[in-house]
Amino acid sequence: MKSREAECIAEIKEAVKDNKVLCLVSGGVDSTVCAALMSKALKHDQVVAVHVDNGFMRKDESEKVEESLERLGLHLKVITAAQQFYNGTTSIPVNRKDPKSPKRVTKTLNMITNPEEKRKVIGDMFMRIADEVCMELNLKPEDTILAQGTLRPDLIESASKIASHNAEAIKTHHNDTELVRQLRDQGRVIEPLKDFHKDEVRVLGTDLGLPIDVVQRHPFPGPGLAIRVICAEEPYMGRDFAETNVILRILVDYARAASKPHALMGRIKGSTSEEEKDLLTAITVACDLSATLLPIKTVGVQGDCRTYSYVAALTCDGEPHWENLLTLAKIIPKICHNINRVVYVFGDPISHNINDVTPTFLTPGVLGTLRQADHLGRDVLLKSGYYNKISQMPVILVPLHFDRDPVKHEPSCQRSIVIRTFVTNDFMTGIPAEPGKHIKEEVIIDMVTAIQTVPGVSRVMYDLTAKPPGTTEWE
């Protein structure tokens, strides 16, 4: 790794020369290692480190970022820009598949539900604020280079030509928007970690002398909590919703359903191997399961292509058998390609279908609910001693209010929380942490109990999905 460190430093010196470097630091591993490389490669007065509080940070996160970087001897300029981000817009092609098509202006970020548009607005707002910082510090934009901690997986998922000429965009990373690509073409961006994966960045950070608590921090996306809120103003229910719901219910009652004639049983049997049929039979004999399709969509990946579709929810009468649930979570998306994720819902079996959503946008109240749930869940994980055994743990807010009797016409006004534990070496593929194997089940239960104290939370769920078909983040 020492040779790669030397290569990075040589690349930085060659690209930057006597110019100034503006380094956007989120406080995550990637941007911190990038800043440390800049500091080692360049003169002290060449590096300007900036942290932008975009309003989507975790609880007390900006203060912790500033403290940790001061310990490294890096002076950090902190910019509070929540209102600028909430009200930010950008221009995007009318035809997503044709970047040269006419442009349209998006809604303000606090009114957008489309996750790709959210990411693009956030990425472009970072660039605009970077230009404002240049002006404030009397730095000439044409003589200032932007330093980013972009990794190879970021570029692959964004379908950047730097990483791949053939891949389809799975999701736009905030550090690979169209505006960033234009700056790259002008030679105004340096990304010394662009050929690195997360595990390699951690080793490099250790070699650079960064503290272990900084190097081992869980990844936190640049757009922050903004991409951990599933925004929606209406339910996602395509023509296939009802049929998929039926297939889902047949699957969780397979042992009994297999002996009864049903038009959809042939499709299920035709999509499964003999081994999978045997597993479905054994699981559904052993467990009293129920399932329902949720009217929301999340991003997933199959091959090099993005998928964007439903979430299946499982519940059981009694204690969950995690190995069986995780096996089901592998089989279900193979049969129903329009299901990206499978979750387990804690609590009593779901007795009513959910056919609507609680209107949800990036507003201070919504973000406050997620911020508190995230804080409580992470606090339990940190105190448990399992933090470094889990690669990442996104906590997601979804616009779903369970346990409403449709006869009573109760409005949907609460939201639910998803815990997404993730175990991986390189973040290109990975699995959910299995309770009782990768993490104590009591730790998960303690998280659920803590999160259920947050006002406005209907239910807590546990993501059972591997990558692929699901991505690490839900958006």
SS3 9: helix
The CA-CA-CA angle for residues 163, 164, 168, to 5°, reads: 120
Pick from 159, 152, 156, 134: which is nearest to 144 by CA?
A: 134
The CA-CA-CA angle for residues 45, 47, 49, to 5°, reads: 125
Q: How far apart are CA 231 and CA 475, in angstroms?
A: 10
Q: Is the dihedral of CA 279, 281, 287, 293 positive or negative?
A: positive
Pick from 68, 47, 357, 422: which is nearest to 218 by CA?
A: 422
State residue 164's pLDDT score: 47
Q: How far apart are CA 32 and CA 147, in angstroms?
A: 11
Distances in whole angstroms, Cα of residue 240 to Cα of each of 26, 244, 342: 41, 6, 17
State residue 162's pLDDT score: 47
- Quote the DSSP letter at residue 104: E
Q: Tell me phi and psi for residue 202, to 5 degrees.
A: -65, -40
State residue 316's pLDDT score: 95
State residue 444's pLDDT score: 98
Determine contact, residues 81/53, Cβ cutoff 8 Å. Answer: yes
Q: pTM to 2 decimals?
A: 0.89
Determine contact, residues 86/55, Cβ cutoff 8 Å. Answer: yes
Q: How far is CA 243 from the centre of its chain?
A: 29
Which amino acid is present at 246? Answer: V
State residue 174's pLDDT score: 47
State residue 184's pLDDT score: 78
Q: Which residues are CB-neighbours of 56 under 8 A, at least 6 positions away? A: 85, 122, 223, 224, 225, 226, 362, 367
Determine contact, residues 355/411, Cβ cutoff 8 Å. Answer: no
b/e map 194-212, b = 16+ CB within 10 Å: bebbbebbbebbbebebee
Q: Tell me phi and psi for residue 265, to 5 degrees.
A: -65, -35
Determine contact, residues 9/212, Cβ cutoff 8 Å. Answer: no
The low-confidence residues of the chain, meaning pLDDT below 70, are 1, 153-180
Q: How far apart are CA 213 and CA 458, in angstroms?
A: 34
Distances in whole angstroms, Cα of residue 116 to Cα of each of 83, 182, 213, 298: 20, 18, 32, 11
Query: Could you tell me the two tokens for 141?
Result: 């934009």
Q: Is the dihedral of CA 450, 456, 462, 463 positive or negative?
A: negative
Q: Tell me phi and psi for residue 316, to 5 degrees.
A: -145, 155
Q: How far apart are CA 56 and CA 79, in angstroms?
A: 13
Q: Tell me phi and psi for residue 430, to 5 degrees.
A: 180, 175
* Helical pair 441-451 and 364-384, crossing angle rounded to 10 deg: 150
Pick from 51, 220, 49, 222: which is nearest to 122 by CA?
A: 222
Q: How far apart are CA 137 and CA 132, in angstroms?
A: 9
